[in-house]
Amino acid sequence: MSEPQPIDAADLEVHPEKLKVTDQLAIEIVGMNKWYGQFHVLRDIDLTVYKGERIVVCGPSGSGKSTLIRCINRLEEHQKGKIVVDGVELTSDLKNIDKVRSEVGMVFQHFNLFPHLTILENCTLAPIWVRKTPKKEAEEVAMHFLRKVKIPEQAAKYPGQLSGGQQQRVAIARSLCMKPKIMLFDEPTSALDPEMIKEVLDTMIQLAEEGMTMICVTHEMGFAQAVANRVIFMDQGQIVEQNAPKEFFNNPQSERTKLFLSQILGH
């Protein structure tokens, strides 16, 4: 049996003319540090994200890339520095945290759908209980996004009855139902079979073409080349290199990046 082939940038159908970056601030991270006990996971992170950007974060495991994006919606707490998301600074103020979380969608590696609720209920829960949307309206919005991710016919089923790729697309639809301004993707395709990766990436491309601000931790370098406007390489809790994808892949500056790219792209 041959190794599963990584998805090449050429396999993905992207309309580059639709990908636009604005000059409005979406996220501002200044001098952010985080420790797990004595372990310094994130060191002096500075990152400014503009609306419409598609940023791919890559790096070896344990480099802090997941922790970084989990700090943006406060699933992880930072101990030093400043994170401002859409004009709201993340502090221990619970009101601010809930406000940021309802504006920032997140897609997880293991989907994390709610197994006791149907697909439709998964999608309508947060709009109904957080946004106070009337149930009927929430259901219409949910069906709209389920059609968008191409699984409206599964609405009445439970997550356990769907394939991995379908579940991940539901997870994306669930986030979109909150009409978020920013989407975070934490290795969205790492738990999927190769033939399902593409259907999820296609959904993400569609999202990017609609102008969504996206930060994506992924090893899909094809996706990074085709969609990202910026690639960030992290190692040992630090941003080692960031550049436009073309420069990043063709002309990496740091030795650490070169080594990582040679390992991940192989051959």
Partner 1 sequence: MADLTFVRTQMLPPQEAPGAAVGAVRWMRENLFDSWLNSVLTLVSGFAVVWIVVHIYPWFAQSVWNASSLQECRAIIQERFGEGAHGACFAVLRERWQQYLFGFYPADLYWRPTLAFFLMLAALAPVLFSGLPRRMLWFSAAYPGLAYWLLWGGSIFTPIAIYAGFVVAVLAHRAVAGRWGGLAAMIVAVAALLIWWFYLAGPVARTLAAPGFFSLRPVQSNQFGGFTLSLVIGVTGIAFSLPLGILLALGRRSDMFFVKTICVGFIEFIRGVPLITLLLVASFLLNIFLPPGTNFDIILRVIIMVTLFASAYMAETIRGGLAALPRGQYEAADALGLDYWKSMRLIIMPQALKISIPGIVNNFIGLFKDTTLVAIIALLDPLGLTTAIRADSNWNGIIWELYGFVALIFFLFCYSMSQYSQYLERKLATDHR
Our finding on whether 9 is near partner 1 (CB under 8 A) is: no
Q: Could you tell me the sign of the dihedral formed by the alpha carbons of 206, 260, 187, 103, in that order?
A: negative
Query: Residue 242's CB: how many other CB atoms inside 10 A?
Result: 16
Structure tokens at 164: 């991995």
Our finding on whether 216 is near partner 1 (CB under 8 A) is: no
CB of 23 to partner 1, least distance (A): 27
Query: Residue 131's CB: how many other CB atoms inside 10 A?
Result: 14
Nearer to partner 1, 110 or 258 (CB): 110
CB of 245 to partner 1, least distance (A): 27
Nearer to partner 1, 175 or 225 (CB): 175
Q: Which of 14, 27, 178, 226 binds partner 1 (CB under 8 A)?
A: 178
Amino acid letter for position 153: E
Nearer to partner 1, 105 or 245 (CB): 105
The β-bridge partners of 105 are 183
Our finding on whether 215 is near partner 1 (CB under 8 A) is: no
Burial class (CB in 10 A: 0-12, 13-18, 19+), 134: exposed
# binding residues, partner 1 (CB under 8 A)? 27
- Which one-letter DSSP state was computed for residue 266? -
Element holding 230 (H helix, E strand) = strand 230-235
CB of 108 to partner 1, least distance (A): 6
CB of 171 to partner 1, least distance (A): 8
Which stretches of the chain are DSSP H helices? 65-72, 94-103, 119-129, 135-148, 164-176, 194-209, 221-227, 245-250, 255-265
Nearer to partner 1, 51 or 101 (CB): 101
Our finding on whether 185 is near partner 1 (CB under 8 A) is: no
- Say how far apart CA 217 and CA 210 lie, in whole Å: 20
Q: Are 264 and 219 in contact (CB under 8 A)?
A: yes
Site string for partner 1, 108-147 (x = CB under 8 A): x-x-xxxxx--------xx--xx-----------------
Our finding on whether 47 is near partner 1 (CB under 8 A) is: no
- Say how far apart CA 110 and CA 205 lie, in whole Å: 20
- Which one-letter DSSP state was computed for residue 234? E
Q: Which of 78, 101, 198, 230 binds partner 1 (CB under 8 A)?
A: 101
Our finding on whether 96 is near partner 1 (CB under 8 A) is: no
Q: Which of 21, 25, 75, 143 binds partner 1 (CB under 8 A)?
A: 75
Query: Residue 148's CB: how many other CB atoms inside 10 A?
Result: 17
- Say how far apart CA 227 and CA 18 lie, in whole Å: 10
CB of 116 to partner 1, least distance (A): 5
The region of 7-15, 79-87, 97-105, 235-243 touching partner 1 under the rule CB under 8 A is 97-105
Binding site for partner 1 (CB under 8 A): 73, 75, 94, 98-99, 101-102, 104-106, 108, 110, 112-116, 125-126, 129-130, 158, 160-161, 174-175, 178
